[in-house]
Chains A and B, each alone.
Chain A
Amino acid sequence: MNVARSIRTERNQPAAYLFIAPAFAIVLVFSFVSMGISFYVSLHDWDGFRGEGQFVGAANYVRALTEPNSVFWLALRNTILYVVMAVVGVLGTSLPLALLCRRARYGQSLFRTLYFLPSITPMVVISLVWIWLLQEWSVLMDRPQTALAAIALVGVWQASGYNMLLFLAGLNDIPQEYYDAARVDGAGRLQEFWHITIPLLRNTLIFVTVMLIIGSFQVFTQAYIMTGGGPQRSTEVLALQVFKNAFSYAGQMGYASAMAWLLFAVLFVFIMIQVRVFRSRRIYDQ
């Protein structure tokens, strides 16, 4: 880490512990400590109301992974499908939109404002409007095959503006000289794109993709508001299953905790990539 050192040596300042104490207390309690409690609960048949349960060891994990017609695998499958659709959808709209926005003759800043609006609107509001838009103009939400695509559409609609701005920032970092040099060499538009834009945008691309993946894995609001698990469980996503088991069914909070831990395990790889990319981007990429 790049930490500037002063010439004189500094004394240890115990006051520092006081400074960091509030942040640490809260962050640690609500992250590590809570995960520990949740792990403990996942080893029990726990009821949220009674605040207690029977110790069952790994039974909840076993049930999630091996139960015939396990809802966990179904939810995982749905969630992965959603993630793929959302990531492809967002990348496929926000990158071209960013490129187009830079080329547009008029109104660039107006476009930036308009496209960003969905990102600052509560997802609940967006879901409520899109229920009716989808109901009126399509049968997407009725059929189990397409209901997931419908909520992915809503997710893409919301996120594309924000990601468009991310790409715009990334594109702005590419020096104009490269393009000019390429033009002199006689490169066409497509070659410019392939050989200059994409490689130099790599950092941003990776960053956006990883953030999208992690964010999409946690989809909840659209499924809760629009479909409630959907026609024949086709939109039963992991976060929704965790919610239902923890809070709607009696005595299944341990099972919900087990599912949350399994979700964490699935996400772990992506999270490690995120941290790695994040640190490199922030610290070295001033």
Chain B
Amino acid sequence: MTVARLRVHRGRRGRLTGLVAFVVMSAGAFVMIYPYAYMVGASLKTRKEFATDKANPIPQRFRPTERLKHARGEPSALDWPGADWPVLRNYTDAIIYGQVDVFLLNSLLYAVVITAVQLTVNTLAAYAFARMKFRGSGLLFALLLATMMLPPAVLLVPQFLVVSRLGLVDSFLGVVLPGFAGAFGVFLLRQFFLNIPRTLEEAARLDGCGPLRVLWCIILPMSKPILITLGLFTFMGAWNSFIWPLVVLSDQSYYPLTVGLSLFRQESGADWPRIFAASVMGSVPLIALFLVAQRYLVQAISLSGLKGQ
């Protein structure tokens, strides 16, 4: 990450502070990482291992102490039923019995569609506000900004009522439609467009290009970074969205992963290792995406104010 400039104080006192800071940060990092380790460990356990020892993330049949005991012929965790449980069995079970692959596909579909449409719609509107003159543009823009004032929790029931009137409850369109445009995205893009020097556009305009051509050929290539950033954030937000699909969907073959996980949780006789396997499968895509695209995301945060979940 290139954004932050390192400020390391010189001098012995500075070095000591640096070391102490490192130790404290490492301890904090451990607190941040431990739940993930727990999740992965629990996803490898059998039901019995999870029921008997919930504290230690390492499954008993993998622990050296148990293996030693077993090798010596003493009673150990490897004698329990299920000790020959294949390592990734919970993952395959989650897919076969829990239909987690359906949930993942749905999450992907919703996120991709929302991101693609939102980027398109937002870009068009932002370009119009940034570059085109039309009557009432100031007022309309203020109106758009005003919609950012409405927090999601307040909008939950109203949006459901609208979707219900439109007859889109429990459908693909019902899930994605409210996400097709975001005032925030328009705002950001407009800021960005305003900062692009007009010279290239004016040249193109002289050549007779219409606004759409100008947008497509000139502005968009220059806006790659912000588009990627905005796209990533929209994608992540859509992937993690929970309460809207929870409210609007009832057919389980439409569930995204977040709602699917809550479904597993509420079943009676919940198989927790399997739930954790599904959780791991649900977190990995975004983490992978984040690691690949770190640069853009960290830039976005310093531009920031981008909404969290």
Judge A-B direct contact (beta carbons within 8 Å): yes
Give the residues in chain A near B152, CB-CB below 8 Å.
218
Q: How many A-B residue pairs have CB under 8 A?
A: 303
* Closest residue of A by beta carbon distance from B54: A136
A101 on the B face (CB < 8 A) = yes
Establish whether residues B9 and A103, one from each chain, have CB atoms under 8 Å apart when the complex forms: yes
List A residues 1-27 near B (Cβ within 8 Å).
1-4, 6, 10-17, 19-20, 22-27
Given contacts A115-B32, A225-B262, A281-B305, contact A253 B124 (CB under 8 A): no
Establish whether residues B35 and A133, one from each chain, have CB atoms under 8 Å apart when the complex forms: yes
Q: List 18 A-B contacts (CB under 8 A).
A: A14-B134, A19-B128, A22-B180, A23-B186, A30-B158, A37-B162, A105-B15, A114-B29, A120-B240, A121-B286, A123-B258, A125-B261, A129-B35, A166-B301, A211-B305, A260-B157, A275-B145, A275-B148
How many of B's residues come within 8 Å of A, CB to CB?
108
Establish whether residues B4 and A172, one from each chain, have CB atoms under 8 Å apart when the complex forms: yes
Establish whether residues B29 and A108, one from each chain, have CB atoms under 8 Å apart when the complex forms: no
Establish whether residues B164 and A51, one from each chain, have CB atoms under 8 Å apart when the complex forms: yes
B211 on the A face (CB < 8 A) = yes
A43 on the B face (CB < 8 A) = no
B90 on the A face (CB < 8 A) = no
Give the residues in chain B near A2, CB-CB below 8 Å.
194
Give the residue among A12, A104, A246, A257 with the most B Cβ atoms within 10 A: A104
* Closest residue of B by beta carbon distance from A239: B153
* Closest residue of A by beta carbon distance from B144: A27
B231 on the A face (CB < 8 A) = no
List B residues 7-36 near A (Cβ within 8 Å).
7-9, 15, 17-19, 21-22, 24-26, 28-29, 31-33, 35-36
Establish whether residues B133 and A12, one from each chain, have CB atoms under 8 Å apart when the complex forms: yes
Give the residues in chain B near A215, CB-CB below 8 Å.
308
Establish whether residues B28 and A115, one from each chain, have CB atoms under 8 Å apart when the complex forms: yes
Selected interface stretch from A55-63, A144-152, A263-271? A263-271
Given contacts A105-B22, A120-B236, A159-B308, contact A113 B294 (CB under 8 A): yes
B88 on the A face (CB < 8 A) = no
- Roughly how many angstroms separate A238 CA and B156 CA in the complex, as a whole number? 12
B96 on the A face (CB < 8 A) = no
How many of A's residues come within 8 Å of B, CB to CB?
114
B129 on the A face (CB < 8 A) = yes
Establish whether residues B29 and A132, one from each chain, have CB atoms under 8 Å apart when the complex forms: no
List B residues 123-182 near A (Cβ within 8 Å).
124-125, 127-129, 132-135, 137-138, 140, 143-145, 147-162, 164-165, 177-178, 180-182
With A103-B21, A113-B291 known, 14 other A-B pairs at CB within 8 A are A12-B135, A20-B140, A29-B162, A34-B159, A35-B150, A51-B164, A97-B28, A102-B6, A119-B308, A122-B240, A124-B279, A130-B35, A242-B153, A283-B191
- Roughly how many angstroms separate A81 CA and B215 CA in the complex, as a whole number? 48
- Roughly how many angstroms separate A124 CA and B304 CA in the complex, as a whole number? 24
Give the residues in chain A near B5, CB-CB below 8 Å.
172
Give the contacting residue for B22; candidates A104, A113, A260; CB below 8 A: A104
- Roughly how many angstroms separate A272 CA and B148 CA in the complex, as a whole number? 11
- Roughly how many angstroms separate A189 CA and B145 CA in the complex, as a whole number? 42
Binding site for A on B (CB under 8 A): 1, 3-9, 15, 17-19, 21-22, 24-26, 28-29, 31-33, 35-36, 38-39, 42, 54-55, 121-122, 124-125, 127-129, 132-135, 137-138, 140, 143-145, 147-162, 164-165, 177-178, 180-183, 186-187, 191, 194, 198, 202, 210-211, 236, 239-240, 242-243, 247, 257-258, 261-262, 265, 272, 275-276, 279, 282-283, 286-287, 290-291, 294, 297-298, 301-302, 304-305, 308-309
0 or 1 for each of A99-143: is its CB under 8 Å from B? (1 = yes): 011111111111111111111111111101110110111000000
Give the contacting residue for B38; candidates A41, A113, A132; CB below 8 A: A132
- B73–chain A nearest beta-carbon distance, Å: 31
Establish whether residues A133 and B38, one from each chain, have CB atoms under 8 Å apart when the complex forms: yes
- Roughly how many angstroms separate A55 CA and B15 CA in the complex, as a whole number? 71
- A284–chain B nearest beta-carbon distance, Å: 12
Establish whether residues A260 and B153, one from each chain, have CB atoms under 8 Å apart when the complex forms: yes
A221 on the B face (CB < 8 A) = yes
* Closest residue of A by beta carbon distance from B31: A157
Establish whether residues B151 and A218, one from each chain, have CB atoms under 8 Å apart when the complex forms: yes
Establish whether residues B133 and A221, one from each chain, have CB atoms under 8 Å apart when the complex forms: no
Give the residues in chain B near A274, CB-CB below 8 Å.
149
Give the residues in chain A near B129, CB-CB below 8 Å.
20
Establish whether residues A11 and B133, one from each chain, have CB atoms under 8 Å apart when the complex forms: yes
Give the residues in chain A near B33, CB-CB below 8 Å.
114, 117
Establish whether residues A34 and B132, one from each chain, have CB atoms under 8 Å apart when the complex forms: no
